[in-house]
Chains A and B, each alone.
Chain A
Amino acid sequence: MADQPDGIVLTRHRDLHGRGWHPWLRRSLVGLVALVALLALLGFVGQSPSTTQTVTPAATLSVNAPASVRGGLLYQARFTIVAHQELKNATLVLNAKWIDGLTVNTIEPSPVNEASRNGKLALELGHLAAGAKHVLYLDYQVNPTTVGSRTLEAELEDGEQPVASLTRHLRIWP
Chain B
Amino acid sequence: MDIVLRAAFAFAFIFFLTRIAGRRELSSLEPFDLIMLIVLGDLVQQGVTQSDYSITGLLLAAGTIALMQVAVSYVNFRFKRVRTVLDGEPIVLIEDGRVLTRNVHRERLTRHELEEQARLNQIDSLEKVRWAVLETSGAISFIPKK
Chain A residues in the interface with B (C-beta under 8 A): 3-5, 7-8, 10, 12-14, 16, 19, 23, 26, 29-30, 33, 71-72, 144-145, 174
Contact = CB atoms under 8 A, between A and B. Distances in A.
Interface stretch (B28-36, B37-45, B89-97, B121-129): B89-97
19 contacts: A4-B131, A5-B133, A5-B143, A12-B89, A13-B89, A13-B90, A13-B92, A14-B91, A16-B91, A16-B103, A26-B19, A29-B16, A33-B17, A33-B20, A72-B50, A144-B50, A144-B51, A145-B2, A174-B6
Contacts of B89: 12-13, 19
* Interface of B, helix, strand, loop or mixed by DSSP: mixed
A100 B91 CA distance: 54
10 tightest Cβ-Cβ pairs between the two chains A and B: A14-B92, A144-B50, A29-B20, A13-B92, A26-B20, A13-B90, A30-B20, A145-B2, A5-B131, A72-B50
B22 A26 contact: yes
Nearest to B141: A5
Interface in B9-66: 16-17, 19-20, 22, 50-51
A14 B95 contact: yes
A81 B68 CA distance: 53
B12 to A, nearest CB: 13
Contact of A7 (B6, B16, B19, B90): B90
A19 B91 CA distance: 10
Contact of B106 (A7, A12, A23, A71): A23
Contacts of A145: 2
B133 A13 contact: yes
Nearest to B131: A5
Contacts of B95: 14
Nearest to A20: B106
